[in-house]
Amino acid sequence: MANEILLRKFPNVKLTELTGGYTNKTILLDGSHPLMVAKIFYKNNKDARNEISILHLLNSSDVSPGIHDYFEDDTSLYIIMDYIQGGNGQRFLDSNDMDAAREIYRLLGILLSSEIHSIRWKDQTSELPIIELEDDRLDSLDFVPSDLKNEVKRILNVHVMHDVKTIIHGDYGPYNTILTEDSLVVIDWEWGGWGHPLQDIAWVVWFVHLHYPDVADELSGIFLKAYREHSAVIVTEELIKAFALSRVINILHRIKNADMSVQKEWLKRLEWTLKTTFLGDVTREICGKD
């Protein structure tokens, strides 16, 4: 059905399915000019509306794919956007290409501070969700043990200075980037909204410590140094842990109806987050600069 609709709208293209996410699929419109992809969601998917809104906000920059169109049928919502030619950022970490990894984390910091978090919240700007640090829905997660809930609540009860709201990506990291010949492009904006910049900052640091612990301190330091060259956001161990937990809790809500094996894996990650120290000596020195 989706292919038929796309071919009616783009009759002279070849459709090639690319790797997609859990709730969407992405199809290359091979032969389109410029080369485009169709990202297809279930029709009532709120995440798709978020992505459309954010892509429009960023459409004048080079940080995200350009959006060309969006439309619906009886069951699906289609977003038509630029196809970005290049390599997924995480592949360079998986292949242990440290020169490329260092450059990716430098660009992650620059793009996040100068292009993304520079867009501030205003009441009339865009209809996007407000993503808060504290989550009143934590008690509704029946599969999370009460002792873990209490520890999370204690850590989330942190004082945050300058509670500014900017565009946040919501799942920011090398896996959601494409490295081209001359730039880094950020993709998959459906978890975005308005929130504190530390929502994204903490997630970058969390991800590299979880998956690449041997190089986590170095890459976190590169990222934070690049970010702080364009931003005065205060970063501390306490804040990184609190906002990383905020993102984990967000995911726990998304998987509350998933298989028990998925829930157990994320409970392990919740416990790991509570126990982990994220800012080593080098990153503490970077974050201590005014």
Q: Is residue 194 predicted with pLDDT exceeding 50?
A: yes
Question: pLDDT tens digits, residue range 29-72?
Answer: 999 999 999 999 988 889 999 999 999 999 888 899 999 999 99
Q: Kindly report the average pLDDT of the chain as a whole number.
A: 91
Q: Is residue 136 predicted with pLDDT exceeding 70?
A: yes
Q: Is residue 125 predicted with pLDDT exceeding 70?
A: no
Please give the pLDDT value at position 61: 86
Contact 106, 98 (CB under 8 A): no
Contacts (Cβ under 8 Å, ≥6 apart) of 47: 23, 41, 190, 191
Q: Is residue 150 predicted with pLDDT exceeding 90?
A: yes
Please give the pLDDT value at position 290: 43
* 58 closest CA partner among 133, 115, 15: 115
Which of 112-116, 191-195, 218-222, 284-288 shows the lowest per-residue confidence on average (mean pLDDT)?
284-288
pTM for the full model? 0.93
What single DSSP character describes residue 116?
I
Q: What is the mean pLDDT of residues 130-147?
A: 89
Please give the pLDDT value at position 287: 75
* 172 closest CA partner among 206, 132, 193, 200: 200
**Token duo for residue 290:** 């005014």
Tell me whether residue 99 is exposed, middle or buried, using C-beta atoms within 10 angstroms of its C-beta: 0 to 12, 13 to 18, 19 or more. Answer: exposed
Pairing status of strand 24-30 against strand 14-18? antiparallel
CA 120 to chain centre: 17
Question: pLDDT tens digits, residue range 70-112?
Answer: 999 989 999 999 999 999 999 999 999 999 999 999 999 999 9
Domain extent listing, the chain: 2-82, 87-287
* 195 closest CA partner among 244, 130, 256: 130
* Own/partner pairs, 36-40, CB within 8 angstroms, 24+ separation: 36/68, 36/80, 36/81, 36/82, 36/83, 37/65, 37/80, 37/81, 37/82, 37/83, 38/2, 38/6, 38/78, 38/79, 38/80, 39/78, 39/79, 39/81, 40/2, 40/76, 40/77, 40/78, 40/79
Pairing status of strand 87-88 against strand 24-30? unpaired
CATH classification number, 87-287, choose in 3.30.360.10, 1.10.357.10, 3.90.1200.10, 3.90.1300.10: 3.90.1200.10
Angle at the Cα of 21 (from 136 to 18), degrees rounded to 5?
Answer: 165
Please give the pLDDT value at position 108: 98
More confident residue, 145 or 125: 145
CATH classification number, 2-82, choose in 3.30.200.20, 3.40.50.2300, 3.90.1170.10, 3.40.50.11290: 3.30.200.20
Please give the pLDDT value at position 226: 97
